[in-house]
Structure 1
């Protein structure tokens, strides 16, 4: 791919396993893509799936210097591809949740005096107060989370105020430390979403002896306009890569807010991201927080919110079952490690019922401690007979592992999404049960037709299941669109207006599976009741063990 002659915009996506840089033109055409895989491309960092782990303390973290190495490498790759950096008018980004970067007091001095002959990795490590960044899979702060719940009285009260989320990143390639983005700031339990300001009581709890005013000074003010201009690009990048002096840096947001920007969602559209984690995203004008859902201010549009369901055990859990099936399979397709998993998934009856009189098979598959529900790592298997009311039994009876696990793992993830979004969807037309209008799949798993089929069976989707053809580029694309909007909007023009006018659905969207099927949807409605009982039973059992 080569550069176009008009203005260009870069969207960066710092995910768990790679850094990606994606370049678009004003008409939203993708011009260049470069990526840096942390496991295979980094030098000097012994990471696995992009992270380091300390199982004893339930810590999962990443070296910030590795990300700096990646940024220089991605820009060098784009330069090699022939990108004319002088045409880049604006830059934005998307960062993984939890990816906090801790700068020290000398950060702005070092950022403003970078030497173009040296790498970012060599120079910026001195500006960090901590060499590592906590990853979203980290589970070491449960005690602190419990303290926040207790301080306001309950999980529900905390959710009303903060949307019930966690820490989040915001770094820019300007010559100074940037303020939080209006959506990304909702990723910490200090931001009061209904009033759009720091919550004084929670600041006091978190600040301790330092005091809330000092903490507020470190956190800074949060501009409410998601498209405001932070300033011009650092001279380092002008001199090293020939960016134009007037290239504008706009706020980076979280990975999930960026994903929702990759597609101008209409009401009742749902986006399911099937990456390392599984997430469910919708845009809504209503603020209806719940301890299981995460609410954000919309990254671009005042008056809108986005809600998210986020699960640590997404792709990793599916891959564990896939690998177990491959180990026991006589044949393997070297070009497609998912072929056996997909075949077994489609050959297995819905909820494992060969006949209607058979019990439904369902379970939870958590290689890592989970957020929703809040559980330790583990695996649980249940049989459920809806006609028996409380006909739920924890058992392996009738299960053929790992074969039955293929459908059970995929169904468990979509059943949880359906359970927790049921109060946030409504009927698309008279006589149709509440469900999304369309299901859009993004992320690595969006290429899997078998998983897409189960998504439609469980979640419905009156118009079907669709894949964004950018696949795993969604975060970077959303960030690039955000930069286009920030630089080219007319006064008062919303993101949805500008991007909606330029976005061509037929170029980006492909229908890949049927959605709503009345009898199947009803069967999974019964399964949802059993799934909810199963989670409650497991949580009670775990509480009794402690």
Structure 2
């Protein structure tokens, strides 16, 4: 009988499951359900942007019941499709969860009884949403796309002594999407419902609570980093931060602390799966459930070093010593789901700008061959030609949007423009992450651009380290791997968690930086020196 681990990623647009065979380290199943494509989920009222209709600019909410209903939809698909693959839900020995970071749900007193009812036999109702929905203090979850919390964030920043003091306490400045500021806004807008709230779960801990029928499971340190309520170094809820957030709210700071779940290592097991899932979908009653983590911590668990994702936006996750913070506020200190410290930076103006530059020259979105040939004809450093462009406001570094700026040339051909935008965006990430990147070491790279030899050549030289291109992993695979690791450790089996989780991610041939390319970027008067001067001038 196979030993399977299941990873679940509850994200902004979909819920995804990845099943892995623990002993062979092979992925055996993957399924994603789009909230808008599934009628049982679309009925909760989300629009084309996957949000509930906003009351004003910057509001980003999703229906909390949709997260429960999505579990039923996902497990229904598993139960239907597993037999055709020679698999069974009863072979799943461990489940772990990834949840979109910063999203949170407020629960009232009756929730404990309702969640516990999932452990009863026979099961108490036909659906999770029908059973658990009555325990919601408010029907929505504020999610990471929230940006209408500037006043709340600034009030907390001032209360703790300013930007640097907040970063030294939490590892981050006050990103508007972080949970503390959404909680404060919710309390100000809905004081009665906030006063009735007994527990505030992140989405990553709400799902395991439903899976186990136990409301009081812990929140892992990794996802707690996205709340602006945890003291990063000691990994405990901070009374000082609670006072800053809730001192003038119903119940005060002590009331907020009472509403927060306990904190624990991401390796902790929440408990056995609830009877509801055994009876409805055929899970083994001995299946164990992890406490879950955020999507970024679960993704990071798949690598033993730093990770650079070249997607629509560029995300860099750099392993750190856990004591060095970015006092500029451009990056956020976190822990991954294996409890390892790292810092997270996200550049909004990523691969979409590359697509748009190719479109200037008549190339379709997927037409990469002419662009790759143009890069082959252009040496690293692009003959000193730079193309800077931010069509959207940027957080890495924090700066306003600006129109395309060519430096060192006036009108460009494909080679000049394409090399120009690629090198400038890669340089922007490197310059703003370099204080965390120690000398040497490996940099794992994922995303579509990792298939381009010329882009990988430039990335290796700009970061001056060996690259390990990896296959698409994702948060669901990270959850499956970390869940398998937690299950093995709970059984007393000897593994090295980091190496074990990394073994689930396929690797490609390493890309070693060429000395002449490194000199072109890092040498005196080279590209990076010119880029720093240009960036300071353009974004000033």
Q: How far 1:372 sits from its partner (Å)?
A: 2.5
Report which stretch shifted further, 128-137 or 246-255. Answer: 128-137
One of 143, 152, 161 as aligned partner of 1:144: 152
CA 1:406–1:155 in structure 2 vs 1: closer, same or farther (change >3 Å)? Answer: farther
Equivalent position of 2:346 in the other structure: 310
Equivalent position of 2:196 in the other structure: none
One of 245, 253, 272 as aligned partner of 1:206: 245
Check if 1:237 corresponds to 2:239: no
Within 1, Cα distance between the matches of 2:539 and 2:149?
A: 19
Q: SS where residue 140 of structure 1 aligns?
A: coil
| Residues 298 and 336 in structure 2, CA contact (< 8 A), matched pair in contact too | no
Check if 1:190 corresponds to 2:238: no
Within 1, Cα distance between the matches of 2:53 and 2:314?
A: 20
CA 1:53–1:439 in structure 2 vs 1: closer, same or farther (change >3 Å)? Answer: farther
Within 2, Cα distance between the matches of 1:405 and 1:125?
A: 53
Check if 1:442 corresponds to 2:442: no
| Residues 348 and 404 in structure 1, CA contact (< 8 A), matched pair in contact too | no
Q: How far 1:493 sits from its partner (Å)?
A: 7.9
Check if 1:414 corresponds to 2:426: yes
What pairs with 1:85-96 in structure 2 (closer than 5 Å)?
A: 85-96=89-100
CA 1:259–1:175 in structure 2 vs 1: closer, same or farther (change >3 Å)? Answer: same
CA 1:234–1:190 in structure 2 vs 1: closer, same or farther (change >3 Å)? Answer: same
Q: SS where residue 338 of structure 2 aligns?
A: coil
One of 14, 31, 34 as aligned partner of 1:18: 14
One of 205, 216, 219 as aligned partner of 1:180: 219
Equivalent position of 1:250 in the other structure: 290
Gaps of 5+ in 2: 180-201
Within 1, Cα distance between the matches of 2:64 and 2:232?
A: 29
Within 1, Cα distance between the matches of 2:321 and 2:92?
A: 34
* Per-residue CA distance 1:144-171 (angstroms, 9 max, x = gap): 2333333333322211110106336432
| Residues 270 and 291 in structure 2, CA contact (< 8 A), matched pair in contact too | yes
Check if 1:524 corresponds to 2:521: yes
Q: How far 1:520 sits from its partner (Å)?
A: 2.7
Aligned CA-pair RMSD: 3.4
Within 2, Cα distance between the matches of 1:411 and 1:69?
A: 44
Q: SS where residue 20 of structure 1 aligns?
A: strand
Equivalent position of 2:469 in the other structure: 467
Q: How far 1:324 sits from its partner (Å)?
A: 7.0
Within 2, Cα distance between the matches of 1:488 and 1:216?
A: 33
| Residues 108 and 136 in structure 2, CA contact (< 8 A), matched pair in contact too | yes
CA 1:32–1:13 in structure 2 vs 1: closer, same or farther (change >3 Å)? Answer: same
Within 2, Cα distance between the matches of 1:518 and 1:139?
A: 44
Within 2, Cα distance between the matches of 1:283 and 1:379?
A: 31
| Residues 283 and 305 in structure 1, CA contact (< 8 A), matched pair in contact too | yes
Equivalent position of 1:100 in the other structure: 104
Q: How far 1:108 sits from its partner (Å)?
A: 2.5
Gaps of 5+ in 1: 386-396, 429-436, 541-546
Equivalent position of 2:126 in the other structure: 118
Within 2, Cα distance between the matches of 1:30 and 1:40?
A: 25
Q: SS where residue 241 of structure 2 aligns?
A: helix
One of 392, 396, 404 as aligned partner of 1:372: 396
Within 1, Cα distance between the matches of 2:427 and 2:33?
A: 34
* Per-residue CA distance 1:201-247 (angstroms, 9 max, x = gap): 11101012331111001013212x32222122122211111111222
| Residues 306 and 444 in structure 2, CA contact (< 8 A), matched pair in contact too | yes
| Residues 290 and 486 in structure 2, CA contact (< 8 A), matched pair in contact too | yes
Q: How far 1:311 sits from its partner (Å)?
A: 3.2
Q: Say how many residue pairs are matched.
A: 490
Within 1, Cα distance between the matches of 2:135 and 2:99?
A: 19
| Residues 361 and 381 in structure 1, CA contact (< 8 A), matched pair in contact too | yes
Within 1, Cα distance between the matches of 2:420 and 2:98?
A: 32
Q: How far 1:528 sits from its partner (Å)?
A: 3.7
* Per-residue CA distance 1:427-456 (angstroms, 9 max, x = gap): 33xxxxxxxx32212356555666544433
| Residues 458 and 517 in structure 2, CA contact (< 8 A), matched pair in contact too | no
Q: SS where residue 101 of structure 1 aligns?
A: strand
Q: How far 1:76 sits from its partner (Å)?
A: 1.8
Equivalent position of 1:389 in the other structure: none
| Residues 322 and 406 in structure 1, CA contact (< 8 A), matched pair in contact too | no
| Residues 325 and 340 in structure 1, CA contact (< 8 A), matched pair in contact too | no
Q: How far 1:191 sits from its partner (Å)?
A: 0.6
CA 1:338–1:54 in structure 2 vs 1: closer, same or farther (change >3 Å)? Answer: farther
| Residues 321 and 402 in structure 1, CA contact (< 8 A), matched pair in contact too | no
Q: How far 1:79 sits from its partner (Å)?
A: 1.5
What pairs with 1:267-306 in structure 2 (closer than 5 Å)?
A: 269-290=305-326, 291-301=329-339, 304-306=340-342
| Residues 90 and 483 in structure 1, CA contact (< 8 A), matched pair in contact too | yes
Q: How far 1:287 sits from its partner (Å)?
A: 1.7
CA 1:426–1:285 in structure 2 vs 1: closer, same or farther (change >3 Å)? Answer: closer
